[in-house]
Structure 1
Amino acid sequence: MTIPLSRLRPYPPRPTLSRRGLLAAAALLPGLPAAAQGPVRIISGFAAGGSQDVLARILAEALQEALGVGVVVENRTGAAGTIAGDVVKAAAPDGTTILIANIVTMSLAPFSFPGLKYDPVKDFVALAKTTEFPIALATGAMTGATRLADLMDWTRANPARGSIGVPAAGSLPHLFAARLAASTGLPLTVVPYRGGAPIAQDLMGGQLAMGFGAAADFSELHQARRIVIVATSGTIRHPALSQVPTFTESGVAGLDSNGWNGLFLPAGTPSAIVERYQAIVAAALARPAVRERLIQLGFLVTPSSSDAMRQQIVEEMRAWGPIMTDLMKPR
């Protein structure tokens, strides 16, 4: 069954947007076919309250407003988002199940999980990259450090307590933790978590010395002075964290890459559905209020086309594959 076209409506014009641009985007297709039973689902592979979950809920609001049907976020956590990938791969290609994924789930997982059940390129249709996020190193009550140099000094003085949380084994933060240990000689013990939100909780509670994760996982708590971000990735400082230096500024090389989030549909989804979603997402990300909200949460709004997203995954798999394979070898 399908939703009648009469129930679908274009993304509503906003005073801050070009009415012509919105109408052009909405008019690309007459409507989005979808199952009449049940809402559209956005499947996230990371815990509720984390940065990807927050992003998913912001996008769900925009999709619900545009489509006139319910849009819910489901958290299928574990295995660096690959469980969520399995769910969406197996879903009907009718536009009712969307995967929100990141560089870990799509570009790094083939090397982190030898038994991976999906092919990131062949089993999904890329809608678009939505955001990038710097990788941040944060600390809290256990160390009391406010600068990267202070944190490194504390870790050298307390080698048995130098645990560093990462959102998942085989994640980009895991790779960053390994690089930080190699480049500084720090005695770090990597502890995998199920997302960035539980890392932040343990930093606040003094159960964890430091954690690597998306800046968006730590930004609000940093601004509230409940944890401290001591450095971020990227070549420039994030506008919402302008007082926090990059790793390069702090004297640590090789930690310049940012992560990203994107939306994907099961392979075989009709092009009409793909294009309709692309128009809605592009309109949502163009709204100044949405962009500002995402920036304050620690994201960078960097929309791209389906083709560009697919090519980026292919290139990242080629570049990161050998490094990840070595990282995941039993020691």
Structure 2
Amino acid sequence: MRMKTSIALALTLLLGFASAATAADDDAWPTHPVRLIAASGPGGNPDVMGRLLADKFSQAFGKPFIVENVPGAGGIVAANLVAKTQPDGYTLMFSDSGALAINPVLNPNLGYDPIKDFAPITALVTLPTILSTPPDLAAKTLDEFIALAKKQPGKMSFGSAGAGSIHHLTFAIFAERTGIDLLHVPYRGGSAMVNGLLTGEIQAGWSGIPNVIELIASGKLRGLCVSTLQRSPSTPQIATCDELGIKGFNVATMMGLVAPAGTSPKIVARIQAEAAKAMREPAMATRMTQLGMVMEEKGTENYAAFLKEDLARYDQAVKKLNLQTAK
């Protein structure tokens, strides 16, 4: 009996020492550079956001935060890397709905679980898109575009940044809601798709705002509507689809910051607090507007709930539209 009591006491002490050591490690974090994985190539939205916050984090925590670009397959390559990384707070990822909601429902066999394998830290921005067309298209308004498409089903074409991209899924949902049928032309990236609009290869496409804002202002493209329920601060003159009669239309990708599952909640909370502080700076808000991004205020718990809702939303859309690429 005494032996059992001694063993129990020893285990209790060991667990207490381990908890104290873990708490001390969390307080000391970071003691060396932190990797910020951007799930895109240079110039992509996760890369831009990563570099904006890397400087803020480096100043706040006193250690370098280094952006590492890991492009490929719409964020899948980066997500697989981070999901399998040690959850010690030294690897974080800037990613969006593509890697954390859209691709997992398009292809469930990606090698990672978007909910179980990541610790949400904070949402950062929403990225609306604009339905854009060439100015010589015989449709100057959204209603006229829908009517024109209905007159010639399957003959007009729309472009996307690739099969399964947010641009592809947005148009698929838009087509289903409006009853139109357009030929899908996938490009290798959003810039290539916009070039297709400029050359007349395609008649329409949902594009990220930075790629088309100047082209719309100069008259080289026409912006018909915005994909979110609120107008974008970057293009306040362009109405939303909801305002123009497609009620409740709200499709956009949200970018956020996550860590591998199992990362200390204390470290997560510290990062979330510094991210929120940085995003509230007036200069950051101005920069987000320039980039066509709408700032989000979703802390760790709200972001975690959103990720589950986002996954369910795209799962429903992909199944309804029969877009799933693998079983």
Q: TM-score, normalization: structure 2?
A: 0.78
1:292 is aligned to 2:293: no
Q: Distance in 1 between matches of 2:221 and 2:35?
A: 33
Aligned partners of 2:105 and 2:324 also within 8 Å: no
Q: Distance in 2 between matches of 1:315 and 1:188?
A: 29
Match of 1:256 in 2: 250
Q: State which of 23, 26, 29 in structure 2 corresponds to 1:32.
A: 29
- TM-fit CA distance, 1:287: 0.2
Q: State which of 251, 264, 270 in structure 1 corresponds to 2:264.
A: 270
Aligned-partner SS, 1:240: coil
Q: Distance in 1 between matches of 2:54 and 2:195?
A: 26
- TM-fit CA distance, 1:240: 2.0
- TM-fit CA distance, 1:268: 2.1
How many residues end up aligned between the 2 structures? 299
- TM-fit CA distance, 1:297: 1.7
1:189 is aligned to 2:183: yes
- CA 1:286–1:72 in 2, change beyond 3 Å: closer, same or farther? same
Match of 2:302 in 1: 308
Q: Distance in 1 between matches of 2:200 and 2:62?
A: 45
- TM-fit CA distance, 1:200: 2.8
* Structure 2 portions without partners, runs of 5+: 1-25
- TM-fit CA distance, 1:232: 0.5
Q: Distance in 2 between matches of 1:54 and 1:254?
A: 30
Q: Percent identity?
A: 31
Match of 2:164 in 1: 170
Q: Distance in 2 between matches of 1:41 and 1:218?
A: 32
- CA 1:30–1:222 in 2, change beyond 3 Å: closer, same or farther? farther
- TM-fit CA distance, 1:270: 2.2
Match of 1:328 in 2: 323
Match of 1:227 in 2: 221
- CA 1:271–1:57 in 2, change beyond 3 Å: closer, same or farther? same
Please identify, of 230-239 and 282-291, the stretch whose mean Cα deviation from structure 2 is larger: 230-239
- CA 1:295–1:90 in 2, change beyond 3 Å: closer, same or farther? same
Match of 2:20 in 1: none
Aligned-partner SS, 2:234: helix
Match of 1:15 in 2: none
- TM-fit CA distance, 1:47: 4.1
Aligned partners of 1:88 and 1:98 also within 8 Å: yes
- TM-fit CA distance, 1:61: 3.1
- TM-fit CA distance, 1:208: 3.5
Q: State which of 90, 96, 102 in structure 2 corresponds to 1:96.
A: 90
Aligned partners of 1:89 and 1:124 also within 8 Å: yes
1:43 is aligned to 2:14: no
- TM-fit CA distance, 1:78: 3.1
- State the structure with more CA Rg: 2
Q: Distance in 2 between matches of 1:47 and 1:150?
A: 37
- TM-fit CA distance, 1:159: 6.2
- CA 1:190–1:142 in 2, change beyond 3 Å: closer, same or farther? farther
* Structure 1 portions without partners, runs of 5+: 1-28
Q: Distance in 1 between matches of 2:192 and 2:34?
A: 27
- CA 1:209–1:283 in 2, change beyond 3 Å: closer, same or farther? same
Give me the CA root mean square deviation.
2.9
1:209 is aligned to 2:203: yes
Q: Distance in 2 between matches of 1:73 and 1:163?
A: 37
- CA 1:153–1:295 in 2, change beyond 3 Å: closer, same or farther? same
Residue 323 of structure 2 aligns to which amino acid in structure 1? Answer: M
Q: TM-score, normalization: structure 1?
A: 0.78
Residue 231 of structure 2 aligns to which amino acid in structure 1? Answer: R
User: How big is each residue's C-alpha offset from its partner over 1:88-107, in whole Å with a ceiling of 9 and x where there is no partner?
Assistant: 11223233322111123212
Aligned-partner SS, 1:239: coil
Please identify, of 235-244 and 252-261, the stretch whose mean Cα deviation from structure 2 is larger: 252-261
Instruction: Map residues 62-211 of structure 1 onto 2, 5 A cutoff.
Output: 62-140=56-134, 143=137, 146-152=140-146, 155=149, 162-211=156-205
